[in-house]
Each structure stands twice: as C-alpha cells, then as structure tokens.
C-alpha cells in the first residue's frame, strides 16, 4: 500500500569497483547530512546521504564526534583506575564494560569472583539489557513518528534506573562490578520493588504490542524494509538480535555460557524475515526474556555470601604478562574486551569489541542505498547501535 519501490534503472550503472558513478554537477543528486544532531540518529554520528528525489543512492557513515580515546587512556591508568572509566565506553548499557573488564582482569590475575558476585553480575547485566531495549523500543517508534513509545519506555527505563540507583548507588554509570567481585549486596526489600517495576514494564509492553506491533502503519513501514541478507552476517560480523532476526539462533549466553547463565532457563528468540520488523520483534521477545531472567535470578541467587574475592592491594596491582579475550552477549550482540598485560601495573593494551562498530558503519553503508530518505532513521535504529561504543 505504502511501500517504496526504488527504480534503479534511472541511475548510472555501478563502476568496476561496484560503486556508483555520481556526478553532483548534473543537478540530479543532492548531498544530505543526517546528523550529527538529528532526532533520527542513534547518538552522535552522522550519515552523509546522496539522494536522488527521495531515494537514497549512497550513504556514508561518519563517526568521531564522540571520540574520547578511552582505549589509550586506559593504558595510562592502573588496573583499578580503569574501573571507573570503562562504563563510559557505552552510555546506554554500561554494565557490559564493567563485567568484561573485570572478568578479563580476573582471568589474567588468576582471581575468581565469589558465587554471590557472579549472580549479582548476571542480575546487573540483565537489568542493563532491559534498559537498553527500553531505549530501542522507544527509539524505533520515534524514528517512525510514533512518539508515545519513547515516552513510555523512558518512564519504564527510569523505574529500572531507580532500582539501579538503590542497588549500585548510581543511575547511569553504576560502577558496581569491580575486578574481584561486586561492591555490595542487594538492599533489603529489593526483590519486591523490582517485581513492581517488572509488572509495570509488562503492562507498558502490552501497550507497546498494541500501539506498535499491531499497528498497520508500523508494520507497513518496517516489513520488508532494511532486509539484511543472512549471507552478509558472517562477512559483516553481524551478531546478536540483528542476526537472530535472520534466523541465526546464536546467543553467547547459550553458546558459551558465562557467569551463571548455565543455571538459568531461557529460550533464544529468533525471527526469519531479517527486516526492521523482525529485528524489532526479536528484541521485544528479548525484553520478556530479560524480565523472566531477572525474576529467576532474584529467586535463585544466594541471599548471602562474600561479594568480593581477596584481591591484591589495588594501589600497586601488577598483573603478569598475558592476554585474554572476554566476551558476552549484550543487547546488541557480541561485546568483548581484549586485554593485554605485560607484568606492569598498567594494561599494555585494551581493545573493546563493540557490536555497534560493525553494525553502524559497514553494515549500514551497505544497507542504505535504495532506501527512502524517510526510512533511513528506522533502518539505523533497527540496527540498535550506540556511537559511544563505536568510538572508544
């Protein structure tokens, strides 16, 4: 009914390198910048569009607006001093950085976090995942002009931030997962208050189902749009919900369980169409999984036990020469920390593997040609990328 059908015949044929031969002098094409300040952009990055009429013929991604040099900064910080930095690598889902860094340090230093800390970390990661999906569900609606989902999801996310606040002492940058364990125990009555949040979330998600997933406008604008050919998953490094929406049932929580995921019951959500709608539904299912996991964790986790393993004096903590890669399934796919140590008190090299790096740049550039200008925002949001994590 409303679907956009590009007519490629009117554009010049691609050159031998596969790229379009565009001559702006002809007046037929227009350069259009979407971002870095634009409501249809997932954070501080921009897409340089070449349009012809309302069709995008080429899109180039530009990042760098948010570069803070974290990886280099970390090489000038002691192992404990890296701890407050890592969360800032990814604002919307910071806890994965804390976990990956802590686990990497523990791996090379030969420390095992206590059981209580393992459960607590899992809880924190699922809470973070939940919040990350709140931003997605709000954002994808917003990208298509459905503003109310953003308001609802921000509210629900805020309720979860209240739980983060009472548990970790902070709302955004929790700084709770220390190398060696976690900083504390659950506050009294936490389970009850969390249950209230999850109840509220489920009520709002039911409304999301009605207002968005059962909305013919939303379906029309997302079904069959932004399809990622599953053949591209491997070469483009597509992981997480983006791949699962294309039928790849891969989830590190299942495939290489870390923390206590092997003690939890959950299914990996998948879809087949690999379009914007499929990616949204996978994430909608993932939210429910997170809600269920939070409930399970709170029920199963030990009530007491040490939160921290014995660690050396952090002021002169030296870690033997070594390297390790710690990965986990964040809300966007595989998140990993590659840590190299050289026996000194400072990391030799830290490399952060964020899924947004591949999804938001190479993959997006590949998907953009042939889309309608008005679909670019939805396409971009559907890949669920966070520029701060692209730019370490």
Q: Which residues bind other proteins (CB under 8 A)?
A: 1, 77-78, 80-85, 148, 155, 162, 165-166, 168-170, 173, 175, 180, 183-185, 187, 207, 210-212, 214-216, 219-220, 307-308, 310-316
Q: How far is the CB of 166 from other proteins (least distance, A)?
A: 4
Name the pairing type of β-strands 181-182 and 55-62: unpaired
Tokens standing for 19? Answer: 């790229």
Query: Please, which residue, 136 or 173, has the CB nearer to other proteins?
Result: 173
Q: How far is the CB of 315 from other proteins (least distance, A)?
A: 6
Query: Please, which residue, 1 or 13, has the CB nearer to other proteins?
Result: 1
Q: How far apart are CA 363 and CA 356, in angstroms?
A: 10
Query: Please, which residue, 338 or 346, has the CB nearer to other proteins?
Result: 346
Sign, CA torsion 91/97/98/99: positive
Helices (H), the chain: 70-74, 79-86, 95-109, 115-143, 147-168, 190-208, 216-222, 233-236, 241-244, 252-255, 276-300, 355-357, 364-367, 373-382, 387-390
Cis ω for the linkage preceding 102 (within 30 of 0): no
Tokens standing for 200? Answer: 């509220």
Strand order in the sheet with 30-34: 30-34, 46-52, 55-62
Query: Please, which residue, 82 or 260, has the CB nearer to other proteins?
Result: 82
Q: How far is the CB of 65 from other proteins (least distance, A)?
A: 21
Straight-line distance from the first to the last Cα atom of the chain, in angstroms, rounded to the nearest whole number: 43
Cβ pair 390, 356 in contact under 8 A: yes
Query: Please, which residue, 155 or 325, has the CB nearer to other proteins?
Result: 155
Q: How far is the CB of 190 from other proteins (least distance, A)?
A: 11
Query: Please, which residue, 312 or 322, has the CB nearer to other proteins?
Result: 312
Spacing of C-alpha 187 from chain mean position: 28
Q: How far apart are CA 223 and CA 280, in angstroms?
A: 10
Describe the crossing of helices 276-300 and 115-143 by its angle, rounded to 10 degrees.
150
In terms of Cα–Cα distance, which of 263, 205, 219, 242 is closest to 334?
242
Q: How far is the CB of 91 from other proteins (least distance, A)?
A: 14
Q: How far is the CB of 87 from other proteins (least distance, A)?
A: 9
User: How many CB atoms within 10 Å of residue 274?
Assistant: 24
Q: How far is the CB of 4 from other proteins (least distance, A)?
A: 16
Q: How far is the CB of 141 from other proteins (least distance, A)?
A: 11
């Amino acid at each position: 009914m409303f679907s956009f059908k590009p007519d490629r015949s009117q554009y010049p044929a691609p050159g031998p390198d596969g790229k379009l031969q565009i001559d702006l002098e002809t007046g037929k094409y227009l350069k259009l910048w979407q971002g870095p300040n634009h409501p249809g952009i997932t954070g501080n990055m921009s897409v340089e569009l070449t349009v012809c009429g309302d069709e995008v013929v080429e899109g180039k991604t530009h990042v760098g607006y948010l570069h803070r040099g974290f990886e280099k900064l970390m090489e000038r910080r002691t192992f404990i001093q890296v701890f407050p930095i890592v969360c800032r690598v990814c604002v919307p889902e910071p806890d994965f950085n804390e976990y990956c860094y802590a686990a990497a340090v523990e791996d090379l230093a030969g420390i095992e976090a206590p059981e209580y800390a393992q459960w607590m970390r899992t809880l924190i990661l699922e809470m973070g995942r939940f919040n990350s999906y709140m931003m997605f569900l709000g954002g994808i609606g917003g990208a298509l002009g459905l503003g109310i989902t953003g308001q609802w999801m921000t509210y629900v996310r805020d309720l979860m931030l209240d739980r983060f606040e009472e548990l970790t002492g902070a709302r955004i940058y929790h700084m709770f997962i220390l190398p060696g364990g976690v900083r504390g125990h659950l506050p009294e009555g936490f389970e009850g208050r969390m249950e209230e949040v999850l109840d509220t979330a489920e009520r709002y998600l039911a409304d999301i189902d009605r207002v968005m997933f059962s909305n013919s406008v939303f379906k029309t604008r997302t079904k069959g749009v932004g399809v990622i050919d599953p053949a591209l998953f491997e070469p483009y490094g597509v992981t997480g919900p983006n791949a699962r929406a294309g039928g790849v049932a891969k989830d590190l929580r299942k495939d290489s369980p870390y923390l206590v995921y092997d003690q939890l019951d959950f299914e990996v959500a998948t879809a087949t169409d690999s379009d914007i709608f499929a990616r949204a539904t996978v994430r909608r299912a993932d939210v429910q999984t997170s809600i269920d996991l939070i409930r399970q964790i709170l029920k199963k986790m030990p009530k007491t036990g040490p939160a921290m393993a014995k660690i050396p004096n952090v002021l002169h903590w030296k870690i033997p020469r070594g390297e390790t890669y710690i990965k986990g399934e964040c809300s966007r796919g595989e998140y990993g920390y590659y840590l190299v140590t050289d026996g000194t008190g400072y990391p030799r090299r830290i490399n952060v593997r964020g899924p947004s790096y591949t999804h938001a740049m190479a993959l997006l550039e590949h998907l953009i040609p042939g889309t309608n200008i008005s679909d670019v925002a939805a396409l971009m949001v559907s890949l669920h990328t966070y520029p701060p994590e692209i730019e370490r």
